[in-house]
Chain A
Amino acid sequence: MLTQPDPAGFLPHARLRSLIAALRDRGYRCLGPAAENGAIVMRELDAEEDLPRGLQAEQGPGHYRLTQDPYHRYFAWANGPQAIKPLAFAPQESVWQVRRDAAGALQFEATPPAVQALAIIGVRACDLAALALQDAHFLRAGRVDAHYAARRERLFLVAVQCAEPAATCFCASTGDGPTPAAGYDLALAELSDGFVAAAGSDAGRAVLAALDLAPATTQQIEAVRQQGVAAAAAQTRRLPGRNLRDALMGRLEHPRWDAVAARCLACGNCTAVCPTCFCHAEMDVPALDGESSRHQRMWDSCFGESHGHLHGFNVRPDIRSRYRQWLTHKLATWHDQFGRSGCTGCGRCIAWCPVGIDLTEEAAAITEGAQP
Chain B
Amino acid sequence: MNGRAHLDAGAPHAATVTARTQESPGIFTLQLRLDDATAQAAYRFAPGQFNMLYLYGVGEVPISIMSDPEERDLIGHTIRAQGRVTQGLAKLQPGDKVGLRGPFGRGWPLQEVSGCDVVLVTGGLGCAPVVSVIHYVLRRRERFGKLVIVQGVKHAEDLIWREQYDRWAKLPDTQVLVAASEGAAFWPWHVGRVTELFGLARFNPECAVAMMCGPEGMMRAAADSLLGRGLPESRLYLSMERNMQCAVGRCGHCQLGGAFVCRDGPVFNWGEVKALLAHKGF
User: Could you tell me if B82 and A335 are in contact, using CB atoms closer than 8 angstroms?
Assistant: no
Residues of B within 8 A of A47 (CB): none
| B11/A142 in contact, CB under 8 A | no
Which bucket holds chain A's interface residue count? 35 or more
* Contacts A104-B96, A106-B97; A290 near B57 (Cβ below 8 A): yes
B242/A283 in contact, CB under 8 A:
no
Contact of A143 among B9, B56, B80 (CB under 8 A): B9
Query: B10, B12, B54: which has the most chain A beta carbons within 10 Å?
Result: B10
> Would B251 and A315 count as touching, CB distance under 8 A?
no
Would you call the interface of chain B mostly helix, strand, loop, or mixed?
A: loop
- List residues of A (75-108) whose CB comes within 8 Å of B's CBs: 95-98, 100, 104-108
Cα distance A284–B280 in the bound complex, in angstroms: 31
- A286, A318, A328: the one within 8 Å of B57 (CB): A286
B251 near A142: Cβ-Cβ < 8 Å: no
- Check A368 for interface membership: any CB of B closer than 8 A: no
Nearest chain B CB to A65 CB, angstrom units: 32
The answer to whether B96 touches A337 (Cβ under 8 A) is no
With CB as the reference atom, state the residue of chain B lying closest to A138. B250
Neighbouring B residues of A138 by C-beta, 8 Å? 250
Question: Beyond A105-B97, A284-B58, is A336–B253 a contact (Cβ under 8 Å)?
Answer: no
Instruction: Give the size category of B's interface with A.
Output: 35 or more
Interface assignment of B279: CB less than 8 Å from any CB of chain A? yes
Select from chain A the residue with minimum beta-carbon distance to B278: A252
User: In this assembly, does B188 line the interface, its C-beta being within 8 Å of a C-beta of chain A?
Assistant: no
In the complex, what residues of A have CB within 8 A of residue B11's CB?
Answer: 95-98, 108-110, 295
Q: A107-B14, A109-B11, A325-B282 are in contact. Are A137 and B80 (CB under 8 A)?
A: no
Q: Are A336 and B257 in contact (CB under 8 A)?
A: yes
Closest to A104 in B: B97
Instruction: State the total of A-B contacts with C-beta under 8 angstroms.
Output: 130
Q: How far is the CA of A284 from the CA of B55 in the complex (A)?
A: 10
B183 within 8 A of A: no
Alpha-carbon separation in the docked complex, A1 to B177 (Å): 68
Interface of A is mostly: mixed
Residue B59 at the A interface, CB < 8 A?
Answer: yes
| Interface flag for A72 (CB, 8 Å) | no
Q: When the two chains form their complex, are residues B99 and A108 in contact, meaning their CB atoms are under 8 A apart? A: yes
- CB-based nearest A residue for B125: A311
- Fill in one digit per residue for B10-54: 1 if any A CB lies within 8 Å of its CB, else 0: 111110000000000000000000010000000000000000001
- B199 within 8 Å of A by Cβ? no
List residues of chain B with CB within 8 A of the CB of A98. 11-12, 54, 56, 99
- Shortest C-beta distance, B106 to chain A (Å), equals 12
State in angstroms the CA–CA spacing of A302 and B56 once bound together: 27
Chain A residue at minimum C-beta to C-beta distance from B55: A284
Please report which residues of chain A, range 279-336, place their CB below 8 angstroms from some CB of chain B when the two chains form the complex. Answer: 279-284, 286, 290, 293, 295, 297, 300, 302, 306-312, 315-316, 318, 320-322, 324-325, 328-329, 333-336
Q: How far is the CA of A336 from the CA of B13 in the complex (A)?
A: 33
Q: Assess the B252–A302 pair: CB atoms within 8 A.
A: yes
Scan residues 71-106 of chain B and give those whose CB is less than 8 A from a CB of chain A.
80, 82-83, 86, 96-99
Minimum CB–CB distance for A265 against chain B, Å: 18
Q: Contacts A106-B97, A312-B82, A333-B258 hold; do A282 and B14 have CB atoms under 8 A apart? A: no
Provided the pairs A320-B281, A336-B257 are in contact, do residues A315 and B99 lie with their beta carbons within 8 angstroms? no
A284 to B279 alpha-carbon distance, docked (Å) = 33
Contact between chains at A146 and B252 (CB < 8 Å): no
Of A107, A146, A307, which is within 8 A of B253 by CB?
A: A307
- List CB contacts (< 8 Å) of B262-282 with chain A: 263, 275, 279-282
The distance from the CB of A344 to the nearest CB of chain B, in whole angstroms, is 18
- B245 contacts A by Cβ under 8 Å: yes
Does B68 sit within 8 A of A, measured CB to CB?
no
Q: What 10 A-B pairs come out closest when comparing CB atoms? A: A336-B258, A321-B281, A279-B252, A96-B11, A286-B57, A333-B258, A108-B11, A311-B82, A282-B245, A293-B57
List 10 additional A-B contacts (Cβ < 8 Å) besides A100-B57, A308-B281: A96-B10, A104-B97, A105-B14, A143-B9, A280-B251, A282-B246, A286-B58, A295-B59, A315-B243, A325-B281
- Contacts from A to B (Cβ < 8 Å): 95-98, 100, 104-110, 137-138, 141-143, 145-146, 249, 252-253, 278-284, 286, 290, 293, 295, 297, 300, 302, 306-312, 315-316, 318, 320-322, 324-325, 328-329, 333-337
A-B contacts, 21 listed (Cβ < 8 Å) = A95-B11, A98-B56, A98-B99, A100-B97, A104-B97, A106-B99, A108-B11, A143-B250, A146-B10, A249-B257, A281-B245, A281-B251, A282-B246, A284-B57, A284-B59, A293-B56, A300-B253, A310-B241, A315-B282, A333-B255, A333-B257
